[in-house]
Amino acid sequence: MTAASPAAQPRIRLTPLAERHLDATLTWANDAELMRLMDRVTPVEPDGHRRWFEGLRNREDCRYFAAETIDGDHHVGNVWLWNIDPRHRRAEIRVVMGDVTARDRGLGSEAIDLLATWAFQALGLHRVYAYVLAINPRAQRAFEKAGFRAEGLLRGDRWSGDMPVDVYLLARLASDTRP
Ligand SMILES: CC(C)(COP(=O)(O)OP(=O)(O)OC[C@H]1O[C@@H](n2cnc3c(N)ncnc32)[C@H](O)[C@@H]1OP(=O)(O)O)[C@@H](O)C(=O)NCCC(=O)NCCS
C-alpha cells in the first residue's frame, strides 16, 4: 500500500512482512537502544524468530508490514497492528524505523499514516492507538505528525532499567479531521 493523499509525494510503501525482511527485523529486535525505546527486554533467537514469522499468517489479531522506499526498494522499518479487536473496531499500532539513516526524514510518520489509513479503510477499524514512552519524544512527534492526538499520560506505567517511566497514550479515530 502507498499513501492515498495526493498532497505529498509518497516515499514508502507498506508490504506484508516477507522472508527478505527477516534478517533486518531480527537485528532490530535485538538492538539494545531499540529494545529500550520499545520497552522490550527478551532477546530473540533466530529459530524463534522464524517460528514467529511462520505463525503470523494464521493470526487474526495482528498485521505486520515492512516499510520499503519506493525509490530503491530499501527496507527501512516495520509497522504493525497489534491486539486487533473487531468488536470494538480498534487496534494498537507499533513502529520501528530500524535503519538509523531513515530516521527524522518523515518516513516513520508516513508509515504510521499509511497503516492507520489502511486499518480504517481495509479493516473497518474505528480507532488506532499507540503507547509511547515519555523518554521517546521523537516517536511522540512522529505519531502526532500522522494525525494522532495525545489522550493521556499514564504515570509510571512501565519499569525501565531501575526507574519508572511515564507513557503517553495517543490515538487517531477514523472520524478525525486532519489539518
Ligand atoms: C519513532 C520513529 C518510528 C519515528 O520515525 P522517524 O522517521 O524518525 O519520524 P519522522 O521523521 O516522521 O518524525 C520525527 C519527528 O520527531 C522530531 N524529533 C526528533 N528527535 C526529537 C526529540 N529528541 N525531541 C522532539 N522531537 C524530536 C523530528 O524533528 C521530527 O519532527 P519534525 O518533522 O516536525 O521535525 C523512529 O525514529 C524509530 O524507529 N525510532 C526508534 C524506535 C521507536 O522509538 N519506535 C517507536 C516506539 S513507540
Strand pairing of 127-133 and 90-96? parallel
**Ligand 1 pocket by Cβ (under 6 Å):** 34, 37-38, 77, 95-97, 103-109, 132, 136-139, 141-142, 145
User: What's this model's pTM, rounded to 2 decimal places?
Assistant: 0.96
What are 149's three cell numbers?
492526538
DSSP per residue, 131-169: EEETT-HHHHHHHHHTT-EEEEEEEEEEEETTEEEEEEE
Please give the residue that has the higher pLDDT: either 78 or 179: 78
Asked if the structure places residue 4 within a domain, the reply is no
d(CA 5, CA 96): 22
Separation of 143 CA from ligand 1 center, angstroms? 8
Per residue in 126-143, pLDDT (tens digit) is 999 999 999 999 999 999
H/E element holding 63? strand 63-69
What are 145's three cell numbers?
505528525
Asked if the structure places residue 74 within a domain, the reply is yes
Number of domains in the chain: 1
The contacts of residue 18 (CB under 8 Å, 6+ apart) are 66
Asked if the structure places residue 143 within a domain, the reply is yes
Asked if the structure places residue 157 within a domain, the reply is yes
Asked if the structure places residue 81 within a domain, the reply is yes
Asked if the structure places residue 5 within a domain, the reply is no
In the chain, % of residues over pLDDT 70 = 96
Per residue in 11-21, pLDDT (tens digit) is 999 999 999 99
Asked if the structure places residue 61 within a domain, the reply is yes
Q: What is the residue range of 39's domain?
A: 12-173
Q: Kindly report the CATH number assigned to the domain that includes residue 68.
A: 3.40.630.30
Say yes or no to pLDDT of 5 above 80: no
